[in-house]
Amino acid sequence: MNLADLNKIARAMVAPGKGILAADESSGTIKKRFDAIGVESTEDNRRDYREMLFRSKEAMTNYVSGVILYDETIWQKAKDGTPLVKLIEAAGAIPGIKVDEGTQALPGCPGELITVGLDRLAERLKKYYEQGARFAKWRAVIDVGNGIPSRTAIQTNAHALARYAALCQAAQIVPIVEPEVLMDGDHDIARCYEVTEAVLNETFQQLFIQRVALEGMVLKPNMAIAGKKSARKSSVAEVAEQTVKLLKACVPSAVPGIAFLSGGQSDEEATAHLDAMHRIGGLPWGLTFSYGRALQAAPQKAWAGKAENVAAGQQAFTHRARMNSLASKGEWKAELEKKAA
């Protein structure tokens, strides 16, 4: 393992003003999103849609540091025969790959899940590296509810994340470590903080045991935020304060950067929260975004599967990427959203 190279890539992934586009939706997820805009989820339509994003020159060059791809996409070629990976590289962004294989029920823990995909991961990483991937992603899902998460769910998922991260670094690939505490429940921000703290502490403990070099990874956590069904919504300032406090308590400063998931927040909420954290300042690591839906909902709607809407789709994508870029420097203002609309 060449740690200096891994560190260089990890730092580039969280470079000031740039963030990561999560374009790694599984076939099932992208089908749901395409259904919502009335587009059939065929291989060609998925390719055309992602090609539209990767050819958005302004967004990709100025605001996007890397792109997380799905297995189908990393092997695909654009309409003109150019590999999609090459389009990403040509824009100066780094190609990455989602390597987990989804979740299964966790035995003995009703309502809880374990992420799978460690079998033969070393072989897959080798092939992805040859195809141009320089970072990877693995998502652990921790639900909050009555009596959950259990210690079992937290420990087994943290252990799998650490095993994955160690295999990535051995393959000269930067691991994005993503332990996501879901915001689907009715829990308040204090409960989210408590669960996320336990999850992050266990994750770093496991990373230490598996000898993962913290300088060669990126953390992709949830924010400290109330569940969607909570009676008490958290203000932007509260989410920012609690999240910064939580990360400072749990994340070693050796980690080059943190790239948040949006986790079901609206486009603007995800942007406002990131901006407010930067305004608090004094952060020991790069802090940016790794958004999927919060970057893509607007371009999907504008594109709607029509070739004549490609420019409109690219414009919507560029706007969202720019807003998040500003937020990742603490320079975003709500009025900029109205202006574009």
Active-site residue set: 178, 220
C-alpha span between 112 and 262 (Å, rounded): 21
C-alpha span between 167 and 196 (Å, rounded): 24
C-alpha span between 13 and 7 (Å, rounded): 10
Length of the chain: 341
Helix (H, G, I), strand (E, B) or coil at 138: strand
Residues 6 or more apart in contact with residue 223 via CB below 8 angstroms: 239, 243, 260, 263, 265, 273
Phi, psi (5° rounding) for residue 22? -90, 100
Q: DSSP string of 191-242?
A: HHHHHHHHHHHHHHHHHHHTT--GGG-EE-PPPS---TT-SSPPPHHHHHHH
C-alpha span between 39 and 182 (Å, rounded): 28
C-alpha span between 278 and 285 (Å, rounded): 11
Residue type, 187: H
Do residues 67 and 21 make contact, with C-beta atoms less than 8 angstroms apart? yes
According to DSSP, residue 98 is labeled E
